[in-house]
Amino acid sequence: MICTFTLGQRRKPIHIRAPFTEQLHIASSDILRLYDDQTAGRITLRSAISDQLCQTLDAGGPYTSSFYGDLAGFFKEQPRLALYLPFYLLKDAPEAFRNDYLSAWRSCWAYGDVRECFNLGDVLEVNSYKGDVERIVKAMHLIPWLVKYGYLSDSDIESIIRLMREDKSLCWSAFDAVPVLEKERLISGDNSFKIREMMSMMPARYLAPRSILETVMREHWRAGRTENRHIGKDFKLGRVDGKFLENLVQASIPEPGDDEIILVGGALLKGYGRHNSDLDIYHYDLESRQISGLEVMALDPANIVHLIMNCAWVGKTECVTRIAQAEAASFFKGVEGAVRASCEGRLENDMLQFGLMHKGFPSAHPDDCSARTRKYDSIDGGSAFYDERYRTIATKLFVKYVFLP
């Protein structure tokens, strides 16, 4: 895409390309040429299916068996989508989808999520804590809805804890759901008693680390949360559906040098920053292969994902094309196994959690964000994670952009 931005005191046409995640989604021809025919075909098919799913979600239906079949297709490679699906899709889903969903949900038992990533997002500086962050199996916090809509029975909870009793984190995460089940009258007194009795014999739970110092960054984080609570009607989400370049129309972007591109990221690009939010600006030198002074190949793969796939690229046409060929596609062709899972986790973290769950969505809906679940402290019910509107946006972003070819 060619856009014209004001650079300094003059207007100059520059080439600005969407984040690599968006380029993959739209299956642009110059990106597809970098892959073999089979991979290119898979990218194109995924793009078409995810677009159709998002259109149906935007229209509020109809949620046909074909829709549910396409949605279930994502579970095979990316079961974590099950964490984000809107609850209203679970309610009247066909039986085949219910089985596929439960299979994906069980696959999520293997993930130890940082609890704060799904709560308030207060994990900025590990050095400000004594001890490791608290980890949970977030899939267990969805149990109340799975019982409510008939995916599980209340006796299944006891069976899960008994079966997985060696996994202390999973058992305690499942136990978090019990107070919610009790308040909603979704569990019998007998089953509740059995679960509590089992948990009384479990090793003590690891508690969240205690803050041992207050840093400048943490002070800014707290001030930002206070400020966000008072934005109210003055705050509007930008394009959070993935057409990120539209959010940069009024942005001030520095002029790139002859042998560099500018990587532009941050909340403003993703659509959940305020009009005065800062952009994350990185200078990519194509000759030295350094990003703001750091050697590209010395970076952790998950950080490369963040910089190359989540940022818009600004520069001369030939420079922008070179980064697509020399870095993005060539790097991600070779990412497999645990490294691939780590990279997709970083995309999920960037796209769905820190920007949208913790900043953008609560700022746009300060008065009613997760109003129905806020009382459920045991599962961190005050988080936007449980809000149907958030979950709909998160699902659309997940099927479009949490993806490595």
Q: Judge contact between 291 and 307, C-beta under 8 A.
A: yes
pLDDT tens track, the chain, 405 positions? 334 333 333 344 556 777 767 777 766 666 677 677 887 888 888 889 999 999 999 999 999 999 999 999 999 889 999 999 999 999 999 999 999 999 999 999 999 998 988 987 766 555 555 567 788 999 999 999 999 999 999 999 999 999 999 999 999 999 999 999 999 999 999 999 999 999 998 888 877 655 544 566 666 656 655 555 444 455 566 776 667 777 777 677 778 877 788 888 877 787 776 666 667 888 888 777 777 766 666 677 777 777 777 888 888 877 777 776 666 655 666 667 777 788 888 889 888 888 788 877 887 787 788 888 999 999 999 999 999 999 999 999 999 888 877
* Residue 99: predicted pLDDT: 97
Ramachandran class of 251: left when φ > 0, alpha when ψ lies in -120 to 50, beta otherwise: beta
Q: For residues 71 and 57, what is the distance between their CA atoms, to the nearest angstrom?
A: 11
Query: Measured on CA atoms in the order 123, 134, 107, 56, is the torsion positive or negative?
Result: negative
Query: What pLDDT shows up at residue 131?
Result: 62
Is 346 in contact with 305 (CB distance < 8 Å)? yes
- For residue 260, the surrounding DSSP H or E stretch is strand 260-265
- Widest pairwise Cα distance in the chain: 74
Indicate the pairing of strand 2-7 with strand 260-265. unpaired
What tokens were used for 60? 């509020």
User: What burial class does residue 403 get, using C-beta atoms within 10 Å of its C-beta: 0-12 exposed, 13-18 middle, 19+ buried?
Assistant: buried
CA dist 344 and 263 (Å) reads 20
- pLDDT at residue 394, rounded to an integer: 93
Tell me what pLDDT residue 35 has. 72
The encoded tokens of residue 276 equal 């005065």
Which pLDDT belongs to residue 2? Answer: 35
Smallest CA-to-CA distance from 307 within 253, 272, 360, 347 is with: 347
* Tokens, residue 50: 């995810």
